[in-house]
Structure 1
Amino acid sequence: MKKYFSMLAGAMMLLAISYSNVNAQDGVAKGDFLLSPFIGGPYVYAGGGFTMGVQGEYAFTDEISGGGYFAYTRWDYGYVGSDISYNFIDFGVRASYHFAKLLKVPNKKFDPYAGAQLGFVASSYDYNGSYNDPYDGGVRAGLYAGARWFFNEKVGVFGEVGWALDAVSIGATFKL
């Protein structure tokens, strides 16, 4: 799993560097569509594991955006005489409020935001060949706060903290 995280981080850095010679504009503006692959951890619903996913959002105004997310989490752990693994698939909707105008942020490349999400999780479980899953699938809600830094008008990076999918998430953002 570490190999996949390293590959994703490397790909994000290459994309960011390849677009670095374009002039930056305002962080998020009405009509922008943002696509953001991410990694994060630990997974808040189970207390462990790392997540890989993607979120997309559309800016309805300069301050309000909404969209969806899809994520996969695998959590492996074991102790003497046992092997335990969990798989979680999460998807849902999210909405954000962007604070740059309200806080009068002077740097147009910086985009602080906070929001909420509502989604569904499905899980599978394996404990020494047994498939009784202690983590039921179901509806999940969460809150988060984050910030983006745009290198140019199309590419940036972001970080989030909260009680959503993961305690901490990082990733890239692409304006389409």
Structure 2
Amino acid sequence: MKKDIRFLVVISFLLLSFSQFSVSAQVRKGDFLLSPNLGLGYYYAGSGLAVTLGVNGEYAFTDEISGGGYIAYTRWTTDYGYQGNNYDYSYNFIDFGARASYHFAKLLRVSNKKFDPYAGAFLGFVTSSYSHDGNGVVGYDDNYGSDLRPGIFAGARYFFQPNIGVFGEVSIGLTPISGGVTFKF
């Protein structure tokens, strides 16, 4: 966990170091941000491939604080071989909940009005399903079930048009790295 937090801090500082300093606000009070995204990896996933499709929606309560919700679908697949038996495991996770962000542009006096660095936290719920295929007997059940899911994230957006941009995030608690498009309304 300490390594994950240090990783988020380093990424946040790297994102901020690419900006120039002077006063501006990239997200304005009243903006609504809709961000479909693709993530790689997953909080619960061990080996194998985990791909997440999600969408975040946030309303800017002030120039610095936004909040809203998220929903994400993750499919994690892996194969396992043991004593001549091969198994393909598949997990499906659905995550949904609330998230809040603090936008650092004004605090850090970022002059590039297209650049929006932010960080925040989320609290949600996850549910999962499990299936397998193989040529042997599998005595394994879905041990993930359903649970509350807290987490933190850091990211940055770059608006190449006034209302359309791209973003990248790192997080602890959902998908370690994700990115996508942001639409500002």
TM-score, length basis structure 2: 0.78
Describe the superposition over 1:113-150 as per-residue Cα deviations: whole angstroms up to 9, x where unpaired: 00000000000011348682111211000000000000
| Alignment of 1:33 onto 2:32 | yes
**Equivalent position amino acid for 1:63 in 2:** E
Matching residue of 2:11:
none
The residue correspondences of 1:59-98 to structure 2 (distance < 5 A) are: 59-80=60-81, 81-98=86-103
Identity of aligned residues (%): 64
User: Given the alignment, which residue of 93, 107, 115 partners 2:112?
Assistant: 107
- Give secondary structure in 1 for the equivalent of 2:161: coil
Output the CA distance in 2 between the equivalents of 1:164 and 1:110.
25
Q: Structure 1: any 5+ residue segments left out of the alignment?
A: 1-24
| Alignment of 1:121 onto 2:122 | no
Aligned partners of 2:52 and 2:74 also within 8 Å: yes
Q: CA RMSD in A?
A: 1.7
Matching residue of 1:42:
41
Output the CA distance in 1 between the equivalents of 2:68 and 2:42.
21
Q: Structure 2: any 5+ residue segments left out of the alignment?
A: 1-23
- CA apart distance, 1:45: 2.2
Matching residue of 2:181:
172
**Equivalent position amino acid for 2:33 in 1:** L
- Give secondary structure in 2 for the equivalent of 1:75: strand
Q: Which has the larger radius of gyration?
A: 2
User: Given the alignment, which residue of 139, 161, 169 partners 1:152?
Assistant: 161
**Equivalent position amino acid for 2:51 in 1:** F
- Give secondary structure in 2 for the equivalent of 1:95: strand
Aligned partners of 1:26 and 1:109 also within 8 Å: no
